């Protein structure tokens, strides 16, 4: 087998525990659900999961270790992420009332936003490098093991973040009937993105 079944059984609950810990990905899906509805939140969660799997692939190939060892590359990814989050905040502010859950957000755009936000978060690079290798058996195919564990993390994150987004979407749909909320929803989403950008900008590697 690609991975030891006993090790995989130990990995799954650890991965679920990490997935249910509130973080930037969960907050992002929460904001998407409140602003644009459950469909956009699920698509964003899928994009985030694709990013997680890509991080696992990069770690298995040794690329993440190279990036983590190069402060310039690490910081470049971080600032790209900050800039993208600020652009999302600007877009939310200029969407205008009635352009949120009622109008919907294309699934492809929500997926792209989720993927980019995850891929440009260097914290995920460090997390995958620190967490997954603890379960990797050097006697087995390294890359294949990273992909299996990455798929588990991605699937768990998709379900949990998606559920959070669906819950937020239900609240947002009810609140959308309130004209005051409709006017403020874009500002709330922009605030979420600005907070995530500030959190990422202030992040310092160990």
Report the mean per-residue pLDDT for the chain.
84
Does this model's pTM top 0.75? My answer is yes
Dihedral, CA atoms, 94, 116, 70, 60, nearest 10 degrees?
170
Query: Rounded to the nearest 5°, which phi and psi values hold at 202?
Result: -85, -5
Distance of CA 190 to the CA centre of its chain: 17
What is the predicted pLDDT for the residue at 45? 96
Residue 115 contacts residue 53 (beta carbons within 8 Å) = no
121 contacts 196 by C-beta, under 8 angstroms:
no
Residue 136 DSSP code:
-
Q: Helices 179-201 and 71-93: crossing angle, nearest 10°? A: 170
At 195, list the tokens: 């907070």
| Burial class of 142 by CB neighbour count within 10 A (0 to 12, 13 to 18, 19+) | middle
> Between 76 and 176, where is the model more confident?
76
Which pLDDT tens digit goes with each residue over 186-202?
677 788 788 888 888 88
How many other CB atoms sit within 10 Å of the CB of residue 92? Answer: 24
**pLDDT (average), residues 59-63:** 90
How far is residue 165's CA from residue 27's CA, in Å, rounded to a whole number?
9
Q: Is 70 exposed, middle or buried (0-12, 13-18, 19+ CB in 10 A)?
A: exposed
Q: What stretches of 62-203 show up as alpha helix (H) in DSSP?
A: 63-69, 71-93, 107-119, 122-131, 142-175, 179-201
Can you tell me the mean pLDDT for 177-181?
61
Distance between CA atoms of residues 184 and 148, nearest Å: 42
pLDDT above 70: percentage of residues in the chain: 86
Distance of CA 148 to the CA centre of its chain: 19
Residue with more model confidence, 169 or 143? 143
């Amino acid at each position: 087998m690609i991975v030891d079944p006993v090790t995989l059984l130990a990995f799954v609950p650890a991965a679920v525990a990490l997935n249910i810990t509130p973080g930037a990905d969960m907050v992002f899906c929460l904001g998407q659900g409140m602003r644009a509805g459950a469909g956009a939140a699920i698509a964003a969660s899928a994009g985030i999961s694709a990013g997680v799997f890509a991080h696992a692939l990069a770690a298995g190939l040794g690329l993440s270790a190279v990036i983590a060892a190069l402060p310039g590359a690490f910081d470049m990814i971080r600032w790209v992420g900050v800039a993208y989050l600020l652009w999302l905040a600007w877009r939310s502010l200029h969407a205008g009332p009635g352009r949120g859950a009622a109008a919907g957000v294309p699934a492809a755009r929500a997926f792209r936003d989720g993927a980019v936000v995850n891929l440009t978060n260097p914290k995920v690079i460090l997390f995958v490098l620190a967490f997954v290798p603890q379960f990797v058996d050097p006697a087995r195919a390294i890359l294949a093991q990273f992909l299996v564990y990455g798929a588990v993390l991605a699937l768990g994150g998709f379900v949990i973040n998606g559920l959070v987004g669906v819950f937020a979407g239900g609240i947002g749909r009810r609140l959308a009937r309130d004209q005051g909320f409709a006017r403020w929803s874009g500002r709330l989403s922009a605030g979420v993105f600005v907070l995530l950008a500030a959190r990422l900008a202030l992040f310092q590697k160990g």
